[in-house]
Structure 1
Amino acid sequence: MKTVVTVTPNPALDQTVRVANLALGEVNLAASLEFNAGGKGVNVAGCLADYGMTTIATGLLGAEDAAAFDAMFADKHIVDRFVRIAGRPRINVKLVDTARNETTDINLATSLPSAADVDALERRVVELAEPGRWFVLAGSLPPGVDVSFYRRITRALHAAGARVALDTSGAPLADALRADEPDGLPDLVKPNRAELEAALGRSLADDDALIHAACELVERGIAHVVVSLGERGALGVTRPSGDKASSYEGWRAAPLRVPVSSTVGAGDALVAGLVASLIEARPWPSVGQRATAFAAGKLARVGPHLPDHASLDALAAQVELVTFSVAANPPRVTQHQAV
């Protein structure tokens, strides 16, 4: 099984408080309190490790109060290559209303890395690069880190023959998508609708607009574009090789209705499923089904955890997925097929 490296510049300690019928401005009795090592890349690493993939986690981590991270890495046999910096990991408070299946996030400020810290992380990432190895660059950037960080790292990783998945938002995503050179573009990107609209600077009101936007990104050089749609599932577009090189291949996956313990990290589990499926060389529709199963499997758990392979197989078999092809000039949906 190939090794995956996750890069989390801004990890967090997730404090999850579960309350039935949360009442703002009132005294609430919590049903439970749980601490989990978090941050998008850390969550991806946890899911990949549960799936059985050798996983290396790096990023910038406050050296104080990092016990939850140390425990997670040891428990899941994740190789810890984080650059330790002064201060504590930021704390993200997750208020989970178990009656309404709603989660309210309260994200606190993070420790500030120095320029030397950021340089050390960039060197470490390059040291870990190998031809064909997947890197997942995920999450926000700490204050003071230039928005071009992910684009620079992507270029360096491609120079070493590695492959890159990017899951971020805001200015770092917009900067990455504006890369002029192909080597600065990731191989896989997974924004949600709002993040993609902000990065492209236009509204994407319906599925056709989303599909056309995804095709534009594939045309620019991003091999795999997946847009997460929350309760409406996800949509993925790629460009097949061979005789169909003049068209795009896509899928639209409906979410599975499963018991929900926490929605936190479901998108990260989706990313883990995408990367794992691409490593396994699954057909593109199967990638969508497997990634959706990862997200559904995580929903039943608080923290970055997955069920066993048999359970994931069963979930993937239940995913309702519609495939389609899109003519390249101009992009136009030409076929739909239920899977």
Structure 2
Amino acid sequence: MPAADLHTVALNPAIDLTVGLATLTPGEVARARSARHDPGGKGVNVASCLADWGVPVTIHGLLGAENETRFKALFAAKGIADAMIRLPQSTRTNIKLLEDGGRTTDVNLPGFSASARDLAAVQQSLATVGAGALVTISGSQPQGLEDDASARLVAALARRGARVVLDVSGAPLRAALALAPDALPHAIKPNRHELEACLRRDLSARGDLVAAARDLVARGIGLVAVSLGTEGAIFVSRGAELQAMPVALSHGSTVGAGDAMVAGIVAGLAEDLAPAALAARATAFAVGKLRNAGPHLPDRTEIRALESAVVVRPLTEWLAAG
């Protein structure tokens, strides 16, 4: 078990309503075969996966008091310490339309509105988190907060010696990457499209993608992990440049797979794994999540088996193969 102090931050959680159906045809009536509600949002999913791995974790952020029951039940069942700030509103619902072939269509509903005072309350809940801690800040920001809200949390934590793993996109990611070197996140995990949107350039060529990741590491980010769907993920740091690929991908909802990868990165950092072992751990978490509905991992034995099957190779080989 890692000795690191682990925290996650979820500023804009959601209840995930996953609807299973044969196929979705726009403009036509779709008949659902199944439906399930799961407390979710990126930060909640990361905390849930870390708890499944068996490590203590505290969750911070904002939560609507009007429909908090599912979240409270999840936190209690998994032993997640709850430091979330309650707002007198409802947490949003995200609808996931999952077709038999595995394609997922997301319909994200509007949620609560937050203020600078609410962000300050989250900052206060993190005030005792300092050197040596690992903190993930994941997901979108609620309406009412400035674009740099997540970046401000990153900067305060980084300057106290915490290692921040950041998984945001759009303007919040752009704001975080513009921070001073001493305030940057320790690691980021965008997917290719999120990184393209943030940097405002095409990264479809493997060489361009790797060059962008190397540039971010040169600026002071310790680890840049970019998820690539069926191509696995690349992991770029000063000490290693790797591509990780699972032997086989599971079929099922992809909801939360990226969040599981973030949890795997955190678990690897907490155990001070070597770069190749960390890449395998993160990939195994993501593949393991595909086997389960909701924000849940399979047991450790299954994750270990998946981990041993991940193919990790130098990035030079991946570039040459492209």
TM-score (norm: length of structure 2)? 0.95
SS of alignment partner, residue 64 of structure 1: helix
Q: How many residues align?
A: 319
Which residue is 1:118 aligned to?
119
For 1:37, which of 36, 39, 48 is the aligned residue?
39
Preserved contact between residue 322 and residue 337 of structure 1 (Cα < 8 Å) = no
For the residues of structure 1 that align with 2:136 and 2:32, how far apart are their CA atoms? 35
For the residues of structure 2 that align with 1:220 and 1:210, how far apart are their CA atoms? 16
What is the identity, as a one-letter code, of the residue corresponding to 1:279? A
Q: Mapping of 1:208-219 within 5 angstroms?
A: 208-219=207-218
Inter-CA distance 292–335: structure 2 relative to 1 (3 Å threshold): closer
Inter-CA distance 68–218: structure 2 relative to 1 (3 Å threshold): same
Which residue is 1:27 aligned to?
29
What is the identity, as a one-letter code, of the residue corresponding to 1:296? V
Inter-CA distance 316–27: structure 2 relative to 1 (3 Å threshold): same
For the residues of structure 2 that align with 1:261 and 1:27, how far apart are their CA atoms? 23
What is the identity, as a one-letter code, of the residue corresponding to 1:57? I
| CA deviation profile, 1:100-130 (whole Å, cap 9, x unmatched) | 1111100000110133212111111223x13
For the residues of structure 2 that align with 1:22 and 1:109, how far apart are their CA atoms? 22
What is the identity, as a one-letter code, of the residue corresponding to 1:293? A
What is the identity, as a one-letter code, of the residue corresponding to 1:146? E
SS of alignment partner, residue 96 of structure 1: strand
SS of alignment partner, residue 67 of structure 2: coil
Q: Is 2:145 the partner of 1:145? A: yes
Preserved contact between residue 254 and residue 319 of structure 1 (Cα < 8 Å) = yes
Which residue is 2:9 aligned to?
7
Which residue is 2:66 aligned to?
64
Which residue is 1:299 aligned to?
290
Which runs of 5 or more residues in structure 2 are unaligned? none
Which residue is 2:235 aligned to?
236
Preserved contact between residue 260 and residue 301 of structure 1 (Cα < 8 Å) = no
Deviation at 1:336, TM superposition (A): 8.3
For the residues of structure 1 that align with 2:258 and 2:317, how far apart are their CA atoms? 29
Deviation at 1:335, TM superposition (A): 9.8
For 1:277, which of 260, 265, 268 is the aligned residue?
268
SS of alignment partner, residue 87 of structure 1: coil
SS of alignment partner, residue 68 of structure 1: helix
Which residue is 2:251 aligned to?
260
Which residue is 1:200 aligned to?
199
Inter-CA distance 209–59: structure 2 relative to 1 (3 Å threshold): same
For the residues of structure 1 that align with 2:63 and 2:108, how far apart are their CA atoms? 16
For the residues of structure 1 that align with 2:318 and 2:249, how far apart are their CA atoms? 30
Which residue is 2:164 aligned to?
164
| CA deviation profile, 1:115-148 (whole Å, cap 9, x unmatched) | 3212111111223x13201000010111121111
Deviation at 1:25, TM superposition (A): 3.1
SS of alignment partner, residue 227 of structure 1: strand
SS of alignment partner, residue 81 of structure 1: strand
SS of alignment partner, residue 112 of structure 1: coil
SS of alignment partner, residue 16 of structure 1: strand
For the residues of structure 2 that align with 1:301 and 1:77, how far apart are their CA atoms? 19
Which residue is 1:309 aligned to?
300
Preserved contact between residue 323 and residue 337 of structure 1 (Cα < 8 Å) = no
Which runs of 5 or more residues in structure 1 are unaligned? 241-248, 325-332
For the residues of structure 1 that align with 2:90 and 2:247, how far apart are their CA atoms? 37
Q: CA RMSD in A?
A: 1.8
Deviation at 1:226, TM superposition (A): 0.5
**258-267 vs 48-57, greater mean Cα deviation:** 258-267
Deviation at 1:337, TM superposition (A): 11
